[in-house]
Amino acid sequence: MRKQIVLFFIGILTIIVLAGCGERSQTDVVESLDKKVKEMSGYKAEAKMTLQTGNEEQVYEVEIWHKTPTYYRVHLKNAARDQSQMILRNDEGVFVLTPALNKSFRFQSDWPQNSSQAYLFESLVKDVLEDPEAKFTANDKNQYIFETKTNYQNNKMLPMQEITFNKKELSPASVKVLDTDRNPLVVVEFLKFEFNTSFDKNSFDVDKNMSSAQIEVPTLASGEREPFAVKYPLEQPTGVKLLEEKEMETKNGKRVILTYGDVDGEKSFTLIQESTEIATPASASSSTFMNGEIVDLGFTIGGLNEHSLTWTNAGVDYMLASDDLTEEEMIMIAKSVAGQESK
């Protein structure tokens, strides 16, 4: 009997020791994430991204392909708005495709290395690695949670993020990007994630991806456009107001020029809106070069340079131009235009 009791307690102690060995430290997990990035050949993922813009939620389906070291394909779709955009990176550069308009734009950009990317695994791991003050916890769902600083070069209003990884494969489970009041403005929920997948030789080809995307979202005809509705930014620097509004007709429809400024003349900008031209098959065979960096505005992808920010949304081209505004202010204004009703 005594022997059985001794063996019983030895068994209990063994379980306790093994359980203790199973708890990994923050350093252990960080090292494993780093190793995962270095050893993987790539991945395919599906996610749901929810953006909180004002009082309205916008939900996007996101399909992510990555082949190491530098090939990317990120397809963003909003079923409710019948919108689709794709970011491609291959040996020729970085491209932004808008299938419904039969348009592609090429950037000489170091995207995605130049900023945090909430839907890219290696970007999330990089943010974890580079934040010495990152907070670490484990929950009862077999997940590791990191709270880290973000690295949005042009947006200081989203300083923190909460990244959750699954314990078993260290795949991302979710990301919450938080504003200065710790409200989640961007939430990415990963639905599928598969490491070390295979790709065919055309997986990151511009023409092939444009054609396949247009099967899901056919190219718009001129008669299918939504009625042009002027949109006004809901946010601008303090003291800035609308000074002038001009309207004119172009071959594609209406063009509206909004001029904003303050009483001191220190903060001014111009916002131009006009119906976009749908590219013909012939003109769509080559990409338009954009001078600037890719900026993820949430609802669409824009091109940002020193004095202007351009983007297309719902069949309308926008250009925000200013010699006075910071890049962060231009992005703030652009985001506040999205999804607003006409005045």
- Beta-bridge partner residues of 46: 63, 192
Question: What is the predicted pLDDT for the residue at 13?
Answer: 44
Please, are residues 47 and 183 in contact by the beta-carbon 8 Å criterion? Answer: no
Percent with pLDDT over 90 in the chain: 55
Question: And the tokens for 96?
Answer: 């932004």
Cα distance between residue 129 and residue 262, in whole Å = 43
Query: Rounded to whole angstroms, how far apart are CA atoms 312 and 319?
Result: 9
Contact 128, 35 (CB under 8 A): no
Alpha carbon distance 79, 94 (integer Å): 25
- Condensed to tens digits (0 to 9), the pLDDT of residues 260-305 reads 999 888 899 999 999 887 765 544 456 788 878 888 887 788 899 8
| Whole-number Å distance between alpha carbons of 254 and 251 | 8
pLDDT confidence of residue 184: 94
- Give the pLDDT confidence of 113-169 residue by residue, as tens digits: 888 999 999 999 999 999 999 999 999 899 999 999 999 877 778 899 999 999 999
Q: Which of 110-114, 223-227, 277-281, 315-319 has the lowest mean pLDDT?
A: 223-227
The pTM for the full model equals 0.83
Q: Could you give the CA distance from residue 144 to residue 108 in angstroms, rounded to a whole number?
A: 36
Look at residues 111, 120, 147 and name the one whose alpha carbon lies nearest to residue 131: 147
Residue in 320, 123, 104 with CA at minimum distance from that of residue 205: 104
Tell me the Cα Rg of the chain.
24
Domains of the chain: 26-216 (2.50.20.10), 222-277+305-337 (3.30.200)
Weakest-pLDDT range from 78-92, 229-243, 248-262: 78-92
Structure tokens at 311: 């983007």
Are 115 and 150 contacting, i.e. CB atoms less than 8 angstroms apart? no
What pLDDT shows up at residue 342?
43
Up-side HSE of residue 127: CA atoms within 13 Å toward CB?
28
182-215 pLDDT, tens per residue?
999 999 999 999 999 999 989 999 999 998 887 7
Which residues have a Cβ under 8 Å from the Cβ of 286 and sit 6 or more positions away? none
Cα–Cα distance between 40 and 44 in angstroms, integer?
12
